[in-house]
Amino acid sequence: MHLTDSHAHVYSEQFKTDRDDMLNRAYEAGVRTIVMPNIDHESIDVMLETEARFPQQCHAMMGLHPCHVTKNFEKELYEVEDWLSKRPFAAVGECGIDLYWDKTTLGWQQEALHVQIGLAKKHQLPLVLHTRDAFRETTELVEAGQDGTLRGVYHCFSGTRAEAEEAIRLGFMLGIGGVATFKNGGLDKVLPGLALEHLLLETDCPYLAPVPYRGKRNEPAYLPLIARRVAELLGKDVEEVVEATTQNAQKLFSL
How far, in Å, CA of 127 to CA of 143, rounded?
A: 13
Q: How many residues does the chain have?
A: 255
* Cα 36 to Cα 20: distance, rounded to the nearest angstrom: 15
CA dihedral for 17, 23, 24, 26, sign (positive or negative): positive
First and final C-alpha spacing in the chain: 17
d(CA 203, CA 9): 9
Alpha helices in 29-160 (DSSP H): 41-53, 73-86, 106-122, 135-145
Helices assigned H by DSSP within the chain: 19-28, 41-53, 73-86, 106-122, 135-145, 161-169, 223-234, 238-253
Q: Is 130 annotated as a binding residue?
A: yes
Beta-strand pair 127-130/152-154: parallel
198 annotated binding-site participant: no
197 annotated among ligand-binding-site residues: no
User: What are the beta bridge partners of residue 58?
Assistant: 34
204: annotated binding-site residue?
yes
Q: Which residues are annotated as a binding site for a divalent metal cation?
A: 7, 9, 94, 130, 155, 204
Q: Which residues are annotated as a binding site?
A: 7, 9, 94, 130, 155, 204
